[in-house]
Amino acid sequence: MTTINLNGKSTRVDADPDTPLLWVLRDTMQLTGTKYGCGIALCGACVVHLDGQPVRACTTPLSAAAGKKVTTIEGVHAGRVGKAVQAAWQKLDVVQCGYCQSGQIMSAVALLAQNRKPTDADIDAALAGNICRCATYVRIRAAIHEAAGALS
Ligand code: FES
Ligand code: FES
């Protein structure tokens, strides 16, 4: 049994500690907002936060989350930055098919938590590992600037 703090709630997880966090979230906890894209840490669809840091849930074992705060797209609105990012995403109508977007948002929130005035270069660097097959990159960048403005 592994105990994690999942979206603000202490949660006991009955799964092999080697299980990738992605499958714990999706299959055990029924939190399907975190997506599977590549399974090898290349696409960013599965980004969640571990104690506020962005990690790829597909290559993070459950054991690495023991005793830590795990935040997923389902819980990110609880924070001021998460709320601002989601509002900006809606305002600028960022989403196309949507598959990559929870990972994009989680990376954007992690960036803005560290840097409230990111430049285009900062955004490109922070989200370089988040692939969007619909190529929504221009709107993602604009939405991050929008959220930064709302937070200032
Ligand atoms: S599914 Fe984790 S990075 Fe692609
Ligand atoms: S919105 Fe379709 S993959 Fe990004």
* Residue ranges of domains in the chain: 2-71, 76-151
Distance between CA 138 and CA 136 in Å, rounded? 6
The sign one gets for the Cα dihedral 9, 57, 1, 28 is: positive
Protein residue whose Cα sits closest to atom 4 of ligand 2: 132
Q: What is the mean pLDDT of the chain?
A: 98
3-state secondary structure of 61: strand
CB-based burial of residue 84 (10 Å sphere; 0-12 exposed, 13-18 middle, 19+ buried)? buried
Question: Domain spanning 2-71: which CATH class is it, in words?
Answer: alpha beta
125 Cβ contact list (under 8 Å, min separation 6): none
Q: Tens digits of per-residue pLDDT, 139-148?
A: 999 999 999 9
From 93, 101, 105, 141, the mutation candidate for ligand 2 (largest count of ligand atoms within 8 A of CB) is: 101
pTM: 0.97
Taking only the tens place, the pLDDT of each residue in 1-25 is 999 999 999 999 999 999 999 999 9
50 lines ligand 2 (CB under 6 A): no
Q: Which residue has the tokens 């029924």?
A: 30
Which atom of ligand 2 approaches the CA of 95 most closely? 1
- Ligand 2 binding pocket includes 132 (Cβ within 6 Å): yes
Q: What tens digit of pLDDT does each residue of 23-72 get?
A: 999 999 999 999 999 999 999 999 999 999 999 999 999 999 999 999 99
pLDDT at 109: 98
- Topology at the third CATH level for domain 76-151: DNA polymerase; domain 1 (1.10.150)
Q: Do domains 2-71 and 76-151 have the same CATH topology?
A: no
